Structures are given as structure tokens and as C-alpha cells.
Chains A and B, each alone.
Chain A
Amino acid sequence: MRVVEPKGVTVRKAMREDGTALLKAFKGVEPQSNDLLAIHRAMLTTRLMDARMMKLQRQGRVGFVGSSMGQEGAIHASAQAFGASDWIFSALREGGVTLQRGMSMNDYVAHMFGNAEDTAKGRQMPNHFQYKEGNFPSWSSVLGTQMPHAVGAAMAMQRRGEKNVVAAYTGDGATSTSGFHSAMNFAGVYKAPVVFLVIDNGWAISLPSAKQTAAKSYADKAVAYGMPGFNVDGMDVFAVFDAVEEARQRALAGKGPSLLNLRCYRQGGHSSSDDPTRYRNEEEVEYWAKRDPLARMENYLFKHDLLNDEELEQMNQSLTEQIKDAVDHAETVGAPPLESLVEDVFATPPHHLRRQVADALRIVAEKGDVDRLVGKFPL
């Protein structure tokens, strides 16, 4: 069974497991209270948004959802440690970071619906977020491909002498891809200012991390590429924030990349279409549910008078309303126009694409429209 700290693996920790206090031994960088509250707000937003999207998916109003439940600590504490001018290359479950960096709920939900207000014009499946103002490009479902991009973006910063870094997020599964290997290798060779973050939730769809690699942990992979690698308790926002801050400072100082393996747990299935009871046992799910990062964070905030029940309830209500408003709004927005199908293939649509769209419009006029709603994502 997957546990927080397996034998022979050192995991960086800062908090007690019940969230009541920091460990005496912890000497790292602590987030300021405004950062702590921002992390908490982002975690709660993601938790509520995922739950709402999952309901919409069950009702057939959204095609696909990949929930972050159980991973919010790793995702949002790490993201908070990066600056606004740093770039973030994400994988499937870091979409909530767009909201943390300032994207509107309307834009978030528009993407989930793939409607005419989606900044990507409804081209992608749900959960492939982008937020240009927040230096946040979308990932590709092919997996691992964003890792070399992150290194390239960092090398561009290096060449312009900018004091910024790039966060390269990946799931545990994509550590087996060539993209991961090439990215780590290049980043090591060129001392690129990158922080590699493996959100190790224990499962790549149905494959447990123990079968993904024979290494004791994903952090061990850093050795081969000449960079430091650490395992961090991903349910512990203090340990995560501290580890990222250290890696970021190292990158800013020109010392090159680091690899952080943030150990957490995917409490739900891989996606709205997955049935995890086929391949994992309930005992493990319960073990990790008891260590839920959001509950632990709230315990800490309560204990230290940074949050009380009333404020939490207000936050819950207010976020729930904002999400509801965004969903209500998205329901009123239609699909992108047919003409948009041929935009953005190239800077200027060539003649043959203009002809294809004209032909499609003619057929709609002569033979009727298509049923836009047919088709349902099965995975």
C-alpha cells in the first residue's frame, strides 16, 4: 500500500500530520500569513470547482473532468511560491492555478464548456487550461511534452538575463516519457532556471507508482541529470512552499534546476469516466483521506487564529456563488461560430481552408445543421 513515507525514502515535512502545529525540527522558509490564506483560498476554490464540474459532467453538460481532490496542497502551495513573472507549464490537474494567478471564473468555466468565450475557442477537451496573462500555457494530452517546452522557456529567460524561473509540472506517469528525460537532461546541461515538480499522486490511471519506476522515488531521477532532487510531503503546504522557495532561489542564483517530488494522493478516479475500484483498494483511499491536505491546512489556520468557522463558512458560500454565477453565465453562451474552425491553423487561413468552411456553410444551408451535442467522452 502507498504510504506517506516509505522505508528508505526521506520525505521533507514541516507540519504535524493533524495540522495543529509545525514540527520543531522545521527550519525552512515559512509562507507569510497572506500567502497562507491565498494558498488556502486556492485549495478551497479548486475543491469546490471540481465538485461542481463533476456534477455538471454527470448531467452531461461538461464532457470530461479530471479532479484534483487530494492534491490541492501540493498544487497550490507550490504555485504560490512562484512569482507573477515566472512561467508555469502545467499537466492535467494544475488548472486551478490559473484562478490562483488571477484568471476569472467565467474564463475557467468557459473553457470547461468549450464555448464561444473560451480563450482557446473550444478547440480542446476540458481541463486543458491556458491563461496568457498569468504566463500559463496549456498542456497536451499526449503527456510529458510540456517538459522540454518549460526548459526552452527558461533558456529564453536565461539569454535575456531575466530574473525569473519556470515551473515544470508533471504527473508521476509522465516521468516515463522521453519528454521528461530530454527536459531533465537539457536543463541539467544548460543550468536552466527550472523547477521540476512531479505531482506524485500514486497512480497513473491504473498504474501505481511502484510499477511506474523501479527507483525508490521519482526524486532519485535527479541524480542522473546532475541536479538535486527531494521528496516532499505534498499534503504539507509548509514543506512544499519551503522546498519550492529553495529550488527557485537556486535557479535564480544561476545554479540550475531542481526536481521536487510532491507526494500526495488522487482521491478520486483518473477522470470522470474512470472506475478506480477495478484496480485499487478502499483501505488505501481511506488512509489518504485521513491526511487530506485541505483539512490539515484548515486545522492549522484555526489553531493559529488565521481563520474561524464563520469566515470559512462565508468563504464557502461566496465561492460557491461565484462558481454558480460563472456556470449560469456559461450556459447562456453558445458554441464558437463554424467559421472559427479554420482560424489559427496558420496566422492567415490559406485559400483551401476558406473554401472548406464555405462548403460547410453551404451544406448547412442546403441540408440542415449538425447535432452539436452528439458524442460523449468515454475515458
Chain B
Amino acid sequence: MTELTLVQAVNDGLRSIMKEDDSVLVMGEDVGPKGGVFLATEKLTDEFGEERCFDTPLSEDGIIGVGVGMAMNGMKPVCEIQFQDFIFPAFDQIVSEAAKIRYRSGGQYTVPMVIRTPYGGGIKGGLYHSQSGEAYFAHTPGLKVVIPSTPYDAKGLLIASINDPDPVLFMEPKALYRAFREDVPSGIYEVELSKTRNVTEGGDVAVFCYGAMVPVCTDAAKRIKDSRNKDVRVVDLRTLMPLDEESVLQAARDCGRVVIVHEAPRFCGYGAELSALIAERAIESIEAPIKRVAGFDTPFPNTLENYYMPDARRVLDAIEEVLDF
């Protein structure tokens, strides 16, 4: 066991699986000698050589397209997109290629690749270093979407994603990269995909969240406990696609009141799907309107980002509203 930050846990996860499995390799912009702009790939080139951890030219569609070809031919590439905001030049390779190759080949060809990318706000990164694009990708059949919120989960989910036979978009909340440390086991372990985690146990309100919104929601849960003695069940989704539907529905039924939180824009955001799922399959247990707390339906601002990002005040406001209904 070592105490690691989330970004160190990602680094440790990569190192652990690269030791175990020769077919795993890391590629992307500045992942080599620099170790990645956030140091997620620090020292991997030193340890495994340039054949297994290498810098690429500045071309996201090149990185993902080449990764797809490698994955079709026996490798397990872990491709880094430096900021999730830079992923869109590779959108075609992800959505039309990586996600569809198993289907279009009747299962003859597969793409066991992982795309790692830091996402989300909270770093004064403005329009193009802050976005949360998970809904675009969760909407794409054939692509798994995973978002950790703790160092332990980051390593375990990353290894599970690399070992998964399908393409996985692994979105790392950069606001939490160095937010806190926790004990992370050394060596290989997996955290199973498509399983939620209850961050707090409670039966009054279910709050669904993921990534950097998990500590925000946990903070709001503490505040409502202090002010009204209500118990919130904060549920960290961890995998957005395929979703652990039964756990989501169970939490909604147990609590009867639901708040959904994400930093991405509200309209057609991931919260809309969760809300629809609960309305379709658990409406008989629901006692108040399902509330969403989300980013504004605007591009991501710079100076005003702290208004844009959901914070404990806004989550608390929504929790109070569903309790008071």
C-alpha cells in the first residue's frame, strides 16, 4: 500500500499493467520524456523504452486512428488525448471507427484500446481546457465510458479498462488529480466496470454524480445532515456506459427523491438519461421532481468558471428543493 494522488495512481496503474502485459503501450502528445503535461506518464519511457511509451506528432486523429490499427492487430494501446477538449479532431476515429469495428465485422475484428483523457473544469482553463464531453461518447454505441473519482478507483478501473475487450474512453477528473491521497495497493488489481459505489449511505435523497462532482456532492450531503439531519446517498456512477442500472434504480426507489449532478451542460447531458431511466422504471417510488444540477448551457467560460461549475451551494439548493416538495 502506498498513499497516492489520483494522477499518481493512474501512473502506477499504467506501470503495473505494462510490467504484466507486453502488448500494452502508451502513446500521445508529450507522454515521453516530459511524462505528460500532468505527469500521468512520468518515467514510463525510462522504464519501458520508446517502443512502449512514445511521443506522437500533434494529431489527435492520428493518435486514435493509429491506436485503432494497433488494437486490431494484437496490441493494447493506451492513447492519451492531452485535454478532453482536444478530442474532437479524433471524433470520427472514435465514433465511426473504434466504436463500430466489432459490430461491422460481425465480431471478427475488435479494438481493445483505452483512450485516457483529463476532463472537466476548476483549473481556470477556459473554453478549451475545461469541458466535460461524456454525453457525446456515452451516446455512441460500442464505446465504454469510465470516470473515476478516487485514486484507488482510478488505478483499478484503468487496469480493468485496459483488460476489457472493447474500446474504453477513460476520463480523468483533472480537478482531482492532486486533490487528496489515499492508500492504493501495489501491483495489479481491478475495480469492476459497470458497478456504482455508494460514497455515503442514506435513505432520504439519492444524489447521482461522477468524477470531480463526487466531493462536491459529499460536501453538500454533510451540510444537509448538519442543517436538517437528512441522510443523502451519494452514488458515484464510475462507469457511464454500460451503466449499472439496477443500483441506480435501487437508490432511487430507496430514497424516493433524486438529484443528479454533472458539470457538463444540462441539455441532453448525461443527467437527462438518468432522469428518463428513473422516470420509466421507478416512477412509482418517486416523491418529488427529479432535479438536475449542471453546467450552464453555454460554452465553458474562463473568469466566471466558478459560477458555471456546480458547487455545494447549488447541490444543497437542489437537495432542499426535493426535500421540501
Contact = CB atoms under 8 A, between A and B. Distances in A.
Interface centre among B57, B62, B174, B317 (most CB of A within 10 A): B57
Contacts of B123: 375-378
B30 A205 contact: yes
Given A173-B58, A207-B55, A368-B313, A141 B129 contact: yes
A206 B314 contact: no
Contacts of A141: 83, 85-86, 126-129
B52 to A, nearest CB: 16
Nearest to B316: A367
B29 interface: yes
B55 A338 contact: no
A335 to B, nearest CB: 5
Contacts of B301: 122-123, 341
Interface centre among B37, B86, B304, B316 (most CB of A within 10 A): B304
Interface in A153-212: 173-179, 204-207, 211-212
A366 interface: yes
A122 to B, nearest CB: 3
Contacts of B127: 123-125, 140-141
A174 B303 contact: no
Interface string A353-372: 10011001001001110111
Nearest to A349: B298
A377 B124 contact: yes
Contacts of A122: 301-304
Nearest to B304: A341
A123 B55 contact: no
Report whether over half of chain A's contact residues are helix, strand or loop; otherwise say mixed. Answer: loop
B297 A379 contact: no
Contact of A212 (B57, B267, B299, B316): B57
Contacts of A336: 303-304
A212 B29 CA distance: 10
B296 interface: yes
Contacts of A338: 304, 307
B38 interface: yes
A125 B296 contact: no
A375 B124 contact: yes
B242 interface: no
A142 interface: yes
Contact of A206 (B33, B89, B267, B296): B33
B37 A205 contact: yes
Given A279-B34, A367-B317, A375 B305 contact: yes
B61 interface: yes
B311 interface: yes
A176 B57 contact: yes
Given A206-B33, A206-B34, A353 B297 contact: yes
B32 interface: yes
B33 A352 contact: no
B247 interface: no
Contacts of A376: 123-124
A342 B298 contact: yes
Given A205-B29, A366-B317, A125 B62 contact: no
A49 B177 CA distance: 32
Interface string A118-144: 100011110010000000000011111
B39 to A, nearest CB: 9
Contacts of A317: none
Interface in A188-247: 204-207, 211-213
B222 to A, nearest CB: 15
A176 B297 CA distance: 32
B88 interface: yes
Contacts of B299: 123, 345
B86 A142 contact: yes
B185 interface: no
A345 B58 contact: no
B59 interface: yes
Interface string B210-237: 0000000000000000000000000000
Contacts of B203: none
Given A124-B127, A176-B57, A353-B298, A374 B317 contact: no
9 contacts: A118-B303, A122-B304, A125-B129, A125-B302, A143-B86, A205-B34, A206-B55, A345-B297, A363-B317
Interface of A: 63-64, 114-115, 118, 122-125, 128, 140-144, 173-179, 204-207, 211-213, 274, 278-279, 335-336, 338, 340-342, 345, 352-353, 356-357, 360, 363, 366-368, 370-372, 374-379
Interface of B: 29-30, 32-35, 37-38, 55, 57-59, 61-62, 83, 85-86, 88-89, 121-129, 174-175, 177, 266-267, 296-299, 301-308, 311, 313-314, 316-317
Given A173-B57, A207-B57, A367-B316, 4 more contacts: A206-B55, A353-B297, A375-B124, A378-B37
Nearest first, the 6 closest Cβ-Cβ pairs linking A and B are A122-B303, A141-B128, A206-B34, A125-B126, A176-B57, A173-B58
